[in-house]
Amino acid sequence: MGLKEKLQSDLTEAIRSRNELVSGTIRMVLTAITNEEVAGKEAKVLSEDEVIAVLSREAKKRREAAEAFADAGRADKAELEKSEGEVITSYLPAQLSDDELAALVSDAIAKSGAAGPQDMGKVMGILKPQIAGKADGGKVSAAVKAALNK
């Protein structure tokens, strides 16, 4: 069963069990996936990797919104956004640990022959396909920057 089918199946379960948080969150994610499918000139079915990219983007939106609400003193809204983010994250692949990320970064630096910060684009180009959905882009960028500045 593909990820989209799993989301649709879980939506049905959440509706039956009257879990409003999960059903609302999955509805938002499925809408984002559908919008991505119909964007552009031709409608298409998204691959698993593209669905994971949409899920990652939606999870990031929830994280950023939770931070913004927390900074504005809206703890109730921040908690809701954080809960929605956790629901979305449960559908993403397991996140890379710091050690795994560091190993991937050093391997990518070796493959690209990067010598300094000016070669960050080369390293990120190698890393992107390997880390899709498994690590936050900002975290990866910071790790690459730190490794190249050594």
Answer whether residue 116 shows pLDDT above 80: no
Domains in the chain, ordered, with CATH?
Answer: 3-89 (1.10.1510.10), 98-148 (1.10.10.410)
The string of DSSP letters for 18-64 reads T-HHHHHHHHHHHHHHHHHHHSSSS--PPPHHHHHHHHHHHHHHHHH
pTM value?
Answer: 0.76
pLDDT digits (tens, 9 = 90+) for 21-50: 999 999 999 999 999 888 877 778 888 888
